Amino acid sequence: MSENFSLPKGVVWVDSGGGVMRAVLSERPELMMVAFAFPEGGVGALHSHPHVQSSFVAEGRFEVTIEGETMTVPKGGSFIVPPSALHGVKALEKGLLIDAFTPRRDDFL
């Protein structure tokens, strides 16, 4: 096992509620990568955290709200959430987000 690599067989999915599943893909204190799988209609409720978040839409289409601005982001699109910004998502179809957080979100470990 290496701290520099993470393989699919080692990924553990946990229930985040409302049918949304979360898996930490890789992490170090400075940076973390997390996958979120959403069913159609699944919601990531409005929230904020002190981390910078960068998100990539790997599958599906999401309605994304950041600080009151809402946009539909399709597969292949991405967005950045500044620290402490109020944000949330709604899956317009079944989808997968790949999120990076800096620093690491220890509450996900």
CA–CA separation, 21 and 13 (whole Å): 6
- The pLDDT value recorded for residue 56 is 98
| Whole-angstrom distance, CA of residue 22 vs CA of residue 16 | 6
* Helix (H), strand (E) counts: the chain: 0, 10
C-alpha 42/C-alpha 44 separation (Å) is 7
- Distance between CA atoms of residues 87 and 74, nearest Å: 17
Cβ(101)–Cβ(52) below 8 Å: yes
Any idea where the domains of the chain sit in the sequence?
15-72+95-108
Q: Could you tell me which residues come within 8 angstroms of residue 16 by beta carbon, excluding any fewer than 6 positions away?
A: 22, 36
Each residue's pLDDT, cut to its tens digit, for the chain (109 residues) gives: 578 888 888 899 999 999 999 999 999 999 999 999 999 999 999 999 999 999 999 999 999 999 999 999 999 999 999 999 999 999 999 999 999 999 999 999 9
What pTM does this model have? 0.95
Q: Which CATH architecture has domain 15-72+95-108?
A: Sandwich (2.60)
Q: What is the per-residue pLDDT for 1?
A: 53
